[in-house]
Amino acid sequence: VQLQAFGGGLVQAGGSLRLSCAASGRIDSYFMGWFRQAPRKEREFVIVSGRSGAIPYLSDSVKGRFTISRDYAKKMVYLQMNGLRPEDTAVYYCAVGGVYTSGHYYPDYWGQGTLVTVSS
């Protein structure tokens, strides 16, 4: 499976942005999610949607602000980010497949990143 993420950009604090990720194959039977990596920090989990769109799991840092959705026909997954904060500045990566267990998501495939910059 190949993934193409896009939609990053510069946004002011408090604003919203929607990231998109296009998959080359069917996505309905896979976990799909997003990670991010801030400057000088390790990559961290953001959110994952269970198989067939089951209840998503989110990092505490984005609860109440970020949501994930899928368009199965278009083989797309989206990350809607509201109430953005400067600390959300990072390169965001979409991911697919793998497993989610014990609060951790281990994808099989990664897309390239898209940069989100939140100005204060």
Q: For 51-108, what is each residue's pLDDT tens digit?
A: 766 778 899 999 999 999 988 889 999 999 999 999 999 999 999 988 888 888 999 9
Instruction: Check residue 68 and give its pLDDT.
Output: 94
Instruction: Check residue 77 and give its pLDDT.
Output: 92
Instruction: Check residue 42 and give its pLDDT.
Output: 96
Residue 26 has pLDDT above 80, yes or no: no
CB of 62 closer than 8 Å to CB of 47? yes
Chain CA centroid to CA 42, Å: 16
